Amino acid sequence: MKNLHKIKKHLINPVVTLGTFDGVHIGHKALLERVVERKKAIHGVSIVITYHPHPIEILKKKVYPFLLTEKIKKEQFMKAIGVDYVLWLDFDMNLAHLTPEEFVRDYLYNQLGTKEIIIGYDWHFGKNRAGDYHFLKKMEQELNFHVEMVNEVFIDNEIVSSTAIRKYLSEGNIQRANKMLGRNYCIMGTVGKGDHIGTGFGYPTINLKPAEIRKLYPAIGVYLTKIKYAHEMFWGLTNVGTRPTIDKNNRQKNVETHILDFNEHIYEKEIELFFVQKIRDEVEFESIDALVGQIRNDEIYARKIIGKLNNE
């Protein structure tokens, strides 16, 4: 576990949870809040053991392209909830082949001296995913730790999960995904240079180069977004798609944003792009003039939504 040596002297009554925690959604938050609550109760420290890359990437031997949360953001979200330490496991085939008992004895007992383990209702671990809550309960007395399970969280009778959030994002249902996340879906990255076509017809755009190559893009379409740049927030219109009107042969999905009421040059600057609401699907227009006319309509509609949101 990376950085374990740095916190060894602070490992007093560790309360530990484990998992991928992709998205750090409201279900994850309920689990992490319970971990923080228990560490306070026993005057200990709270620890999250998580993974990078995603275990499926190693097990399936291919790039896993659906991450909801960048590594740095995942840790920030956890620390904001009150987690003391986040320990990263380099998930590889050696780790994947450990039996549940080997993993518990080595990582949780010998290395951490864990006092309490709090896990989600669907967490499995070890070779062939054979370890779970019931397995851990059988080891409680022998290794002198306590195990607790946190139940699922529901929204409108649906279990909140990273899988469900990915599904809604892939469908363009941003508001449903955001509700499960407990915040607006965000992509971190830097601003790359584009071809300046938008500037020519009065709608300059920035091209987002994502910080995480595995990051999940929402469905193709036009979105109302917020842009965080230099500690300030701006509204914008973002197109996720292939720009069929401008380049009929393009097959690569791009993320281009026109920032409203903004005229700075911010190439190579870091930004965060927050998706608020889908406005429409991306379509191919008969001409550039028709496209520009639709963008004007998109802006009018977006400003109406912004006005409503600002007054809430």
Q: What is the pLDDT of residues 228-254, one digit of tens each?
A: 999 999 999 999 998 777 676 666 788
* CATH number reported for the structural domain that contains residue 78 in this entry: 3.40.50.620
Residues 80 and 221 in one domain: no
142 and 224 both lie in a single domain: no
Kindly state the percentage of the chain with pLDDT values over 90.
70
Q: Are 61 and 91 in contact (CB under 8 A)?
A: no
Is the pTM above the cut of 0.85?
A: yes
Q: What is the pLDDT of residues 5-21, one digit of tens each?
A: 778 888 999 999 999 99
Both 218 and 266 in one domain: the answer is yes
Strands 206-210 and 146-150: unpaired
- The CA distance from 177 to 179, in Å, is 5
Is there a single domain that holds both residue 131 and residue 232?
Answer: no
d(CA 249, CA 189): 26
CA-based end-to-end distance of the chain: 45
Residue 279 lies in a domain: yes
Q: What is the mean predicted confidence (pLDDT) over 86-95?
A: 83
- Per-residue confidence (pLDDT) for residue 87, from 0 to 100: 93
Domain that holds residue 151: 4-155
Same-domain check for residues 190 and 291: yes
174 within domain boundaries:
no
Q: Do 243 and 142 belong to one domain?
A: no
Confidence grade of residue 30 (pLDDT, cut at 50, 70, 90): very high
Phi (first) and psi of residue 117, to 5 degrees: -120, 125
